[in-house]
Amino acid sequence: MIKINTGDSRPIFRQIVDSIRRQIATGELEPGSKLPSVRGLAMQLTVNTNTVAKAYSELTAQGWVESRPGLGLFVSKPRKLFSDREQERRLNEAIQQFINQVIGLDYDAGQLLERLEREIKALEKGQGRSAGNE
């Protein structure tokens, strides 16, 4: 289920992208399953169709889903999306971003690690599509 929070600092199209990627990573959306149509998702979420279209084109560009002409968008088979080097760079960027965001918050290292571990384990519970590790 995709949830949209207005008032989030992420724009809505980004929330849709993140949410679908997470569903794919946890196996909630399996390879080959069909995404709702642009109009269908727009209606379901009450968001502009252009916003959904933008999210879908980003997911397609990143290789998470693929378009079958006339049929719609389908979740792609797991495959390595990035080179080792690019993967390393992205991981580093994500970590730095995380650090910058939590640096001003009142949690110690133990608490932060515990929370991270819980979130990451939740991803692995599914079929364990780990984009890039196959």
Partner 1 sequence: MSEFAIRTQGLCKHYGRKRVLHNLSLDLPRGGIHALVGSNGAGKSTLFRLLLGLTEPSSGSSEILGCESCQLTPALRGRIGFVNEEHTLPEWMRVEAVMEMQRSLYPQWREATYREVLGNFDVQPGQRVSELSRGERAGFNLSLALAQSPELLILDEPTLGLDVVAKRAFLEALMFIGTDSGCTILYCSHQMEEIERVADNLLIMERGELKSVSPPDEFSARVHHWIVEFPERPPANNEIPGLLQLRRIDDSYQLTVLDAGEPLQQFLQDRGARVHCKLQVSLDEAVNSYLAKNHRTAQAAQ
Q: Which residues bind partner 1 (CB under 8 A)?
A: 4, 6-13, 39, 42-43, 45-51, 100-101, 103-104
CA 75 to each of CA 19, 28, 54, 92: distance values in angstroms, whole numbers, following the listed order: 13, 11, 17, 27
Taking the complex as a whole, how short is the minimal distance between the CB of residue 43 and partner 1, in angstroms?
6
Taking the complex as a whole, how short is the minimal distance between the CB of residue 61 and partner 1, in angstroms?
17
Q: Which is nearer to partner 1, 10 or 79 (CB)?
A: 10
Backbone angles phi, psi at 7, to 5 degrees: 90, 0
Q: DSSP readout, 6-58?
A: TT-SS-HHHHHHHHHHHHHHHTSS-TTPBPPPHHHHHHHHT--HHHHHHHHHH
Taking the complex as a whole, how short is the minimal distance between the CB of residue 3 and partner 1, in angstroms?
13
Q: Which is nearer to partner 1, 25 or 52 (CB)?
A: 52
